[in-house]
């Protein structure tokens, strides 16, 4: 297939690009190269004949029209977004612009293209979204695809809005779409402002490891390469007009996750004090959702997909990746706002 992947220089998008190219797909990677992007993430495939990079912004309708006309993709995998909750608290406007308005422009461009090529049933607009659209859970329960949307942060509200736009373009104009809502990803190339890289890199530097509130928040952790595999599975086998939740079947409280990472570092970088001694509790994020958990029944029973990486294995691989790729992440730490406490209102 010829895939137009938006946000392919970001964390998850680059994993999708690497896997799709490895599986023989042609890939057009469209990315605006914001602070969160890094073309080194796709360096392994950049010279492959089936790979193209287009520097463009999804808020630019003319650029999108040109890309569709030039490359005539068979499917769109839409990952481009502003993705950091803390930044959405400080500056929600960028999240509305890219995640809502940008998705609208991409839908319009995809629709014009789909109509121009004769409305093939095989075309897909695959929108990649988050479990955060469902809001928060208490100690019990899981999000299913029927859970009502109740987003609590500007980020999750903007993603919820984009999910609704995608659905509407399917219902109103017939654009063949699938939506996926996944849990928290982690793994190689994770941008150093997100929880797991912050823990690893602060621990390595001997700096305080910030844990929001009491560290009681629970997330379901999905290894990014498992996620990329799930996305290609849904693209290939998912039913048009349906959404699929994707989880890692790896629930953990933040404080337990941090202790697991510190334990791995104690083994790989022994000497001196225990890394867990660096844990420092800081003021909680406003509106911090307590717990997310995914009911994986639909993707498992309908598409036969399950995650393959346990949290222990995934964290081990992630820590190893950061230890071996100093040059890649160090440059990103100088980017705007990285390493600062954001989103405290
Ligand atoms: N990271 C997670 O745990 C997680 C969980 C659930 C869902 N998601 C969703 O998955 C997608 C990818 O997340 P990520 O963590 O890889 O994000 P990321 O922030 O690492 O990457 C986003 C990419 O999108 C690009 N981009 C941003 N604005 C753009 C614009 N206007 N035009 C073109 N490109 C633009 C950036 O340059 C960057 O390369 C997002 O849609 C996000 O909402 C992420």
| Among 6, 135, 185, 29, residue whose Cα is nearest residue 81 | 6
Q: Ligand 1 centroid to 115 CA: how many Å?
A: 27
31 lines ligand 1 (CB under 6 A): yes
pLDDT tens track of the chain, all 345 residues?
999 999 999 999 999 999 999 999 999 999 999 999 999 999 999 999 999 999 999 999 999 999 999 999 999 999 999 999 999 999 999 999 999 999 999 999 999 999 999 999 999 999 999 999 999 999 999 999 999 999 999 999 999 999 999 999 999 999 999 999 999 999 999 999 999 999 999 999 999 999 999 999 999 999 999 999 999 999 999 999 999 999 999 999 999 999 999 999 999 999 889 999 999 999 999 989 999 999 999 999 999 999 999 999 999 999 999 999 999 999 999 898 898 889 987
Q: Ligand 1 centroid to 128 CA: how many Å?
A: 9
13 lines ligand 1 (CB under 6 A): yes
With helix as H, strand as E and coil as C, how does the chain read?
CEEEEECCCCHHHHHHHHHHHHCCCEEEEEECCCCCCCHHHHCCCCCCCCEEEEECCCCCHHHHHHHHHHHCCCEEEECCCCCCHHHHHHCHHHHHHHHHHHHHHHHHHHHHHHHHCCCCCCCEEEEEEEHHHHCCECCCCCECCCCCCCCCCHHHHHHHHHHHHHHHHHHHHCCCEEEEEECEEECCCCCCCCHHHHHHHHHHHCCCEEEECCCCCEEEEEEHHHHHHHHHHHHHHCCCCEEEEECCCCEEEHHHHHHHHHHHHHHHCCCCCCHHHHEEEECCCCCCCCECCECCHHHHHHHCCCCCCCHHHHHHHHHHHHHHCHHHHHHHCCCCCCCCCCCCC
pLDDT computed for residue 240 by the predictor: 98
Catalytic (active-site) positions: 131-132, 155
Residue among 60, 77, 81, 103 whose CB has most ligand 1 atoms within 8 A, to mutate: 81
pLDDT computed for residue 170 by the predictor: 98
pLDDT computed for residue 271 by the predictor: 80
**Residues 123-138: pLDDT tens digits?**
999 999 999 999 999 9
Q: Ligand 1 centroid to 129 CA: how many Å?
A: 9
pLDDT computed for residue 74 by the predictor: 98
79 lines ligand 1 (CB under 6 A): yes
Q: Note the pTM of the prediction, 2 decimals.
A: 0.97
pLDDT computed for residue 272 by the predictor: 82
Q: Which residues contact 330 (CB under 8 A, 6 or more apart)?
A: none
pLDDT computed for residue 345 by the predictor: 79
């Amino acid at each position: 297939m010829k895939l137009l992947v938006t946000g392919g220089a970001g964390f998850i998008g680059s994993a999708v690009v690497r896997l799709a190219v490895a599986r023989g797909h042609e890939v057009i990677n469209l990315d605006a190269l914001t602070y969160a992007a890094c073309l080194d993430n796709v360096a392994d495939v950049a010279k492959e004949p089936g790979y193209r990079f287009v520097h463009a912004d999804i808020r630019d309708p003319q650029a999108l029209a040109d890309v569709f006309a030039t490359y005539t993709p068979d499917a769109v995998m839409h990952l481009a977004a502003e993705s950091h909750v803390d930044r959405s608290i400080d500056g929600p406007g960028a999240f509305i612009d890219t995640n809502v308005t940008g998705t609208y422009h991409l839908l319009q461009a995809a629709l014009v293209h789909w109509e121009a090529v004769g409305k093939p049933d095989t075309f897909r607009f695959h929108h990649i979204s988050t479990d955060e659209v469902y809001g928060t859970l208490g100690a019990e329960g899981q999000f299913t695809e029927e859970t009502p949307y109740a987003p609590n942060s500007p980020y999750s509200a903007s993603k919820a809005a984009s999910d609704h736009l995608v659905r509407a373009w399917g219902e109103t104009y017939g654009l063949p779409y699938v939506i996926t809502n996944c849990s928290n990803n982690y793994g190689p190339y994770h941008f150093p402002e997100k929880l797991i890289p912050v823990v690893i890199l602060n621990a390595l530097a001997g700096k305080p490891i910030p844990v929001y509130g009491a560290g009681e928040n629970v997330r379901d952790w999905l290894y990014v390469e498992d996620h990329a595999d799930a996305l290609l599975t849904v693209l290939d086998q998912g039913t048009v007009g349906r959404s699929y939740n994707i989880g890692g079947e790896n629930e953990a409280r933040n404080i337990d996750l941090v202790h697991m990472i510190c334990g791995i570092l104690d083994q790989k970088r022994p000497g001196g004090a225990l890394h867990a001694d660096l844990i420092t509790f800081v003021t909680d994020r406003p509106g911090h959702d307590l717990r997310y958990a995914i009911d994986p029944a639909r993707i498992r029973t309908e598409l036969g997909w399950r995650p393959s990486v346990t949290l222990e294995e995934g964290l081990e691989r992630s820590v190893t990746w950061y230890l071996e790729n100093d040059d890649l992440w160090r440059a990103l730490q100088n980017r705007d706002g990285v390493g600062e406490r954001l989103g405290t209102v």
